Amino acid sequence: MCGRFALVATGEEVAAHYQLAEVPFIAPRFNIAPTQPVAAVRLDNAGARQLTHFQWGLIPSWSKDPSLGSKMINARAETAADKPAFRAAFKRRRCLIPTSGFYEWQATDGRKQPMHIRAAGGGLLSLAGLWEVWHAPDGGELETCTILTTTPNTLMEPIHNRMPVILDPADYDMWLDPGTALDQLNHLLRPFAPEMLAAYPVSTAVNRPQNDTADCIAPLAE
């Protein structure tokens, strides 16, 4: 699964990476948790990339209970196209979720050691996301999202049995385009190349969402 991640980048770096027309304001986040706002890139009505924010945890449009979103932070890549909660978003509302690294907990000697996984050379990674619009009874709207997960690559296998779908920049247009055929989309939902990632242990401070400082991503002292 993917239940916690970081985004430590400037607005200029995000705008350059995603070829955005405007430079967004990006506040550094070291410990983004479910139900919190997350930055995401989608296509606007004119087909241009835009950066927006979604609440993390997809609430299906048909749900009468918004608390359902807290259980929908991830969607399995193998079944998302068919699941009632995700299939409409999978067809038409896909997004990129920028991250400078994500966390996973590795079972070690009877305890869980948090690990930080980032790009091997540093910089941004893009997680494959889906977004949805939920209409509240009072007429308000809430945009929410989920992160797709897949089987682990060889780097992630010793850490966890799932990993987020990470997209190559060459595939961004195909993923964002609502007209992309489903068989083409499925080709993108594969484990990311292990040599492109690095993993290292970090402090258990990340276990608490209230801890949102650079200490969360600092390598654990040996």
Which secondary-structure segment (H or E) carries 198? strand 197-201
Catalytic residue among 95, 104, 145, 216: 104
Contact predicate 33/4, CB 8 Å:
yes
Secondary structure letter of residue 47 according to DSSP: S
Contact predicate 49/42, CB 8 Å:
yes
Active-site residue, 104 included: yes
Q: How buried is 35 (Cβ within 10 angstroms: 0-12 exposed, 13-18 middle, 19+ buried)?
A: middle
Active-site residue, 145 included: no
> Smallest Cα–Cα separation from 86: which of 68, 112, 113, 105?
68
Catalytic residues: 2, 104
